[in-house]
Structure 1
Amino acid sequence: MKAIITVVGGDKVGIIAKVSAFLAAHSINIIDITQTILSGNFVMMMMTDFEKADLDLDSARKALCEDCQSLGVEINVLNEKVFSEMHRI
Protein backbone atom coordinates (compact mmCIF):
# COMPACT_ATOMS: atom_id res chain seq x y z
CA MET A 1 0.00 0.00 0.00
CA LYS A 2 1.18 3.51 -0.76
CA ALA A 3 0.50 6.57 1.37
CA ILE A 4 0.97 10.32 1.08
CA ILE A 5 2.55 12.06 4.05
CA THR A 6 2.32 15.84 4.29
CA VAL A 7 4.22 17.99 6.76
CA VAL A 8 3.46 21.69 7.19
CA GLY A 9 4.73 24.17 9.78
CA GLY A 10 7.34 26.71 10.68
CA ASP A 11 10.72 26.06 9.11
CA LYS A 12 13.35 24.69 11.49
CA VAL A 13 16.36 22.43 11.40
CA GLY A 14 15.70 18.70 11.59
CA ILE A 15 12.20 18.28 10.17
CA ILE A 16 13.25 16.11 7.23
CA ALA A 17 15.73 14.18 9.39
CA LYS A 18 13.18 13.40 12.12
CA VAL A 19 10.42 12.31 9.74
CA SER A 20 12.83 10.26 7.59
CA ALA A 21 14.35 8.57 10.65
CA PHE A 22 10.87 7.56 11.85
CA LEU A 23 10.00 6.10 8.46
CA ALA A 24 13.29 4.19 8.23
CA ALA A 25 12.86 2.79 11.75
CA HIS A 26 9.50 1.32 10.69
CA SER A 27 10.60 0.06 7.24
CA ILE A 28 8.44 2.61 5.41
CA ASN A 29 10.12 3.42 2.10
CA ILE A 30 10.16 6.95 0.66
CA ILE A 31 9.33 6.67 -3.05
CA ASP A 32 9.28 10.38 -3.83
CA ILE A 33 9.69 13.57 -1.83
CA THR A 34 9.31 17.28 -2.44
CA GLN A 35 9.71 20.16 -0.04
CA THR A 36 9.74 23.91 -0.20
CA ILE A 37 9.50 27.01 1.97
CA LEU A 38 6.39 29.13 1.34
CA SER A 39 6.35 32.48 3.16
CA GLY A 40 8.50 31.05 5.94
CA ASN A 41 6.45 27.85 6.23
CA PHE A 42 8.02 24.47 5.60
CA VAL A 43 5.90 22.31 3.28
CA MET A 44 6.82 18.69 2.48
CA MET A 45 4.97 15.94 0.65
CA MET A 46 6.19 12.34 0.50
CA MET A 47 4.93 9.33 -1.43
CA THR A 48 5.67 6.31 0.73
CA ASP A 49 5.40 2.53 0.43
CA PHE A 50 4.07 0.56 3.40
CA GLU A 51 4.64 -2.88 1.85
CA LYS A 52 7.35 -3.85 4.38
CA ALA A 53 6.23 -1.55 7.21
CA ASP A 54 5.89 -2.88 10.74
CA LEU A 55 2.97 -0.48 11.36
CA ASP A 56 -0.38 -0.12 9.66
CA LEU A 57 -1.42 3.28 8.31
CA ASP A 58 -3.42 4.40 11.36
CA SER A 59 -0.71 3.31 13.81
CA ALA A 60 1.95 5.07 11.73
CA ARG A 61 -0.11 8.27 11.63
CA LYS A 62 -0.54 8.33 15.40
CA ALA A 63 3.07 7.39 16.19
CA LEU A 64 4.54 9.83 13.66
CA CYS A 65 2.45 12.71 15.02
CA GLU A 66 3.51 11.87 18.58
CA ASP A 67 7.17 11.41 17.62
CA CYS A 68 7.32 14.72 15.74
CA GLN A 69 5.19 16.79 18.13
CA SER A 70 8.29 18.66 19.33
CA LEU A 71 8.80 20.01 15.79
CA GLY A 72 5.58 22.04 15.91
CA VAL A 73 4.42 20.84 12.49
CA GLU A 74 1.15 19.40 11.26
CA ILE A 75 1.50 15.91 9.82
CA ASN A 76 -1.09 14.03 7.78
CA VAL A 77 -0.86 10.45 6.52
CA LEU A 78 -3.39 9.36 3.90
CA ASN A 79 -3.80 6.29 1.77
CA GLU A 80 -2.72 7.25 -1.76
CA LYS A 81 -6.10 6.29 -3.21
CA VAL A 82 -7.98 8.45 -0.69
CA PHE A 83 -5.58 11.35 -1.28
CA SER A 84 -5.99 11.06 -5.06
CA GLU A 85 -9.77 11.04 -4.81
CA MET A 86 -9.76 14.08 -2.50
CA HIS A 87 -7.57 16.07 -4.91
CA ARG A 88 -9.05 14.96 -8.21
CA ILE A 89 -10.03 17.86 -10.45
Structure 2
Amino acid sequence: MYAIMTVTGADSTGIIAAVTTTLAELDINIVDVSQTLMSGYFTMILRVEFDDAAVTIPEIQERMNPVAEAKQQSIRIQSESLFTAMNEI
Protein backbone atom coordinates (compact mmCIF):
# COMPACT_ATOMS: atom_id res chain seq x y z
CA MET A 1 0.00 0.00 0.00
CA TYR A 2 1.12 3.56 -0.66
CA ALA A 3 0.57 6.49 1.68
CA ILE A 4 1.49 10.16 1.93
CA MET A 5 3.05 11.52 5.11
CA THR A 6 3.44 15.21 5.85
CA VAL A 7 5.75 16.67 8.47
CA THR A 8 5.56 20.39 9.28
CA GLY A 9 6.73 22.72 12.01
CA ALA A 10 9.57 24.87 13.24
CA ASP A 11 12.97 23.64 12.08
CA SER A 12 15.24 21.83 14.53
CA THR A 13 18.03 19.29 14.45
CA GLY A 14 17.10 15.63 13.91
CA ILE A 15 13.61 15.84 12.42
CA ILE A 16 14.47 13.75 9.36
CA ALA A 17 16.41 11.24 11.47
CA ALA A 18 13.56 10.79 13.95
CA VAL A 19 10.91 10.34 11.26
CA THR A 20 12.92 7.99 9.04
CA THR A 21 14.17 5.89 11.95
CA THR A 22 10.60 5.25 13.07
CA LEU A 23 9.56 4.40 9.52
CA ALA A 24 12.46 1.94 9.23
CA GLU A 25 11.47 0.30 12.53
CA LEU A 26 8.03 -0.31 10.98
CA ASP A 27 9.59 -1.72 7.77
CA ILE A 28 8.16 1.17 5.74
CA ASN A 29 9.97 2.09 2.53
CA ILE A 30 10.32 5.74 1.48
CA VAL A 31 9.56 5.85 -2.24
CA ASP A 32 9.80 9.60 -2.74
CA VAL A 33 10.54 12.58 -0.51
CA SER A 34 10.51 16.34 -0.80
CA GLN A 35 11.54 18.72 1.94
CA THR A 36 12.05 22.43 2.22
CA LEU A 37 12.94 25.03 4.77
CA MET A 38 11.50 28.54 4.57
CA SER A 39 12.17 31.20 7.20
CA GLY A 40 12.80 28.56 9.86
CA TYR A 41 9.70 26.54 8.97
CA PHE A 42 10.31 22.90 7.99
CA THR A 43 8.07 20.95 5.59
CA MET A 44 8.57 17.39 4.36
CA ILE A 45 6.27 15.24 2.23
CA LEU A 46 7.00 11.53 1.91
CA ARG A 47 5.44 8.91 -0.32
CA VAL A 48 5.83 5.62 1.51
CA GLU A 49 5.13 1.98 0.73
CA PHE A 50 4.31 -0.73 3.25
CA ASP A 51 2.51 -4.03 3.73
CA ASP A 52 -0.90 -3.06 5.10
CA ALA A 53 -1.32 -6.62 6.41
CA ALA A 54 1.66 -5.96 8.73
CA VAL A 55 0.90 -2.39 9.81
CA THR A 56 -2.08 -0.08 9.31
CA ILE A 57 -2.23 3.67 8.78
CA PRO A 58 -3.71 4.25 12.26
CA GLU A 59 -0.85 2.18 13.76
CA ILE A 60 1.71 4.22 11.83
CA GLN A 61 0.09 7.46 13.01
CA GLU A 62 0.15 6.18 16.60
CA ARG A 63 3.89 5.41 16.34
CA MET A 64 4.56 8.83 14.78
CA ASN A 65 2.70 10.79 17.50
CA PRO A 66 5.57 10.60 20.04
CA VAL A 67 8.01 11.66 17.28
CA ALA A 68 5.79 14.63 16.45
CA GLU A 69 5.62 15.62 20.11
CA ALA A 70 9.35 15.21 20.73
CA LYS A 71 10.32 17.16 17.60
CA GLN A 72 7.44 19.68 17.92
CA GLN A 73 6.12 18.82 14.47
CA SER A 74 2.74 18.04 12.97
CA ILE A 75 2.94 14.58 11.38
CA ARG A 76 0.01 13.19 9.41
CA ILE A 77 -0.33 10.11 7.23
CA GLN A 78 -3.12 9.06 4.88
CA SER A 79 -3.56 6.59 2.08
CA GLU A 80 -2.28 7.83 -1.25
CA SER A 81 -5.69 7.26 -2.85
CA LEU A 82 -7.40 9.45 -0.24
CA PHE A 83 -4.69 12.11 -0.51
CA THR A 84 -5.04 12.15 -4.30
CA ALA A 85 -8.84 12.32 -4.17
CA MET A 86 -8.74 15.23 -1.73
CA ASN A 87 -6.22 17.18 -3.79
CA GLU A 88 -7.62 16.76 -7.29
CA ILE A 89 -9.45 19.64 -8.90
TM-score bracket, shorter-length normalisation? over 0.9
1:49 aligns to 2:53 (yes or no): no
Aligned residue type for 2:61: R
Q: Distance in 2 between matches of 1:69 and 1:12?
A: 13
Judged with a 3 Å threshold, the aligned counterparts in structure 2 of structure 1 residues 60 and 53 are, in CA distance, closer, same or farther, namely: farther
User: What is residue 4 of structure 1 aligned with on the other side?
Assistant: 4
Where in structure 2 are there 5+ consecutive unaligned residues?
A: none
User: What is residue 19 of structure 2 aligned with on the other side?
Assistant: 19
- Say what the alpha-carbon RMSD is for the aligned residues: 1.4
Q: Percent identity between the aligned chains?
A: 35
User: What is residue 71 of structure 2 aligned with on the other side?
Assistant: 71
Structure 1 window deviating more from structure 2 (52-61 vs 38-47): it is: 52-61
Give CA deviations for 1:41-82 in whole Å, capped at 9, x if unaligned: 000000000127842111111111123311000001010000
What TM-score results when the alignment is normalised by the length of structure 2?
A: 0.92
Please give the secondary structure, in 1, of the residue aligned with 2:55.
Answer: coil
Aligned residue type for 1:41: Y
Runs of 4 or more consecutive aligned structure 1 residues displaced over 4 Å after TM superposition: none
Where in structure 1 are there 5+ consecutive unaligned residues?
A: none
Q: Distance in 1 between matches of 2:63 and 2:46?
A: 17
Aligned residue type for 1:11: D
Q: Distance in 2 between matches of 1:37 and 1:83?
A: 22
